[in-house]
C-alpha cells in the first residue's frame, strides 16, 4: 500500500512538474507572439515613415529637377515597389510565424487541459485507492479485535473454570481434613 501510495504521489508530482513546464512554455510562446505583433506594428510604422520621407524627397526633387522627373519617377517607383515587396514579404513571414505560435499556443493549452484532466483522474483514483485501503485496514483491525476479544473470553472462561475447580478441590480438601 505504501508503494502504491508513493507511486501515486510520484505520478502526481511528475504530472504537476509537466503541467508547470507546459504552463511556462505557453507563457513563453505568448511572449514571443506578443513580440512578433509588436515587430509587425513597428514594421508598418517604419514603412509609413519611409513612404512619407520618400514622398517629401519626391516633391523637393520635382521642384529642383524638373528635367530629371522621368528618371526620378522610375527610380522612385522601383524603390517603392521594392519596399512594398520587402514589407509584404516581412508581413507574410511575421503572419506565418504568428499563426505557428498561435497553433503552438492552442496545442499547449490542449495539453495543459489534458494534463489537468489526467491529474484530476489520478487524484480521484488515488483517493478511491486510499479509501479502499483504509476500509481494508479497518476490517482487518476489527477482525483482530474480535479475535482478541474471543481469546479474552476463552481465557476468562478457563480462569472461571479453574477458580471453580480450585474451589471444589479446596472444599474436598477441607472435607478430607475434617
**Residue 171 counted as domain residue:** no
pLDDT band at 84 (very low <50, low <70, confident <90, very high): very high
Q: Which domain holds residue 58?
A: 2-133
Cell of 81: 515597389
**Closest CA relative to residue 29, chosen from 92, 95, 104, 94:** 104
Answer yes or no: is 74 within a domain: yes
Residue 45 lies in a domain: yes
Q: What does the pLDDT average to over 160-176? A: 85
Burial class (CB in 10 A: 0-12, 13-18, 19+), 101: buried
Q: Give the total number of structural domains in the chain.
A: 1
| SS3 at position 8 | helix
141 assigned to some structural domain: no
The pTM for the full model equals 0.35
CATH code assigned at 36: 1.10.287
- Whether 103 is covered by a domain: the verdict is yes
pLDDT in tens, 111-151: 999 999 999 999 999 999 999 999 999 999 999 999 999 99
Does the residue 125 lie in any domain? yes
pLDDT score of 9 more than 90: no
Amino acid at each position: 500500500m505504501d508503494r502504491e501510495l508513493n507511486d501515486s504521489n510520484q505520478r502526481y508530482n511528475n504530472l504537476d512538474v509537466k503541467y508547470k513546464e507546459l504552463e511556462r512554455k505557453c507563457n513563453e510562446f505568448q511572449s514571443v507572439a506578443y513580440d512578433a505583433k509588436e515587430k509587425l506594428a513597428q514594421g508598418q510604422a517604419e514603412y509609413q515613415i519611409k513612404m512619407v520621407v520618400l514622398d517629401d524627397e519626391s516633391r523637393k526633387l520635382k521642384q529642383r529637377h524638373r528635367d530629371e522627373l522621368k528618371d526620378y519617377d522610375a527610380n522612385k517607383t522601383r524603390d517603392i515597389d521594392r519596399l512594398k515587396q520587402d514589407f509584404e514579404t516581412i508581413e507574410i513571414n511575421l503572419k506565418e510565424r504568428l499563426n505557428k505560435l498561435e497553433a503552438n499556443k492552442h496545442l499547449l493549452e490542449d495539453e495543459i487541459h489534458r494534463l489537468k484532466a489526467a491529474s484530476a483522474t489520478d487524484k480521484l483514483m488515488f483517493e478511491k485507492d486510499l479509501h479502499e485501503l483504509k476500509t481494508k485496514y479497518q476490517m482487518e483491525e476489527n477482525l483482530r479485535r474480535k479475535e482478541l476479544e474471543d481469546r479474552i473470553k476463552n481465557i476468562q472462561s478457563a480462569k472461571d473454570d479453574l477458580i471453580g475447580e480450585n474451589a471444589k478441590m479446596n472444599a474436598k480438601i477441607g472435607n478430607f481434613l475434617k
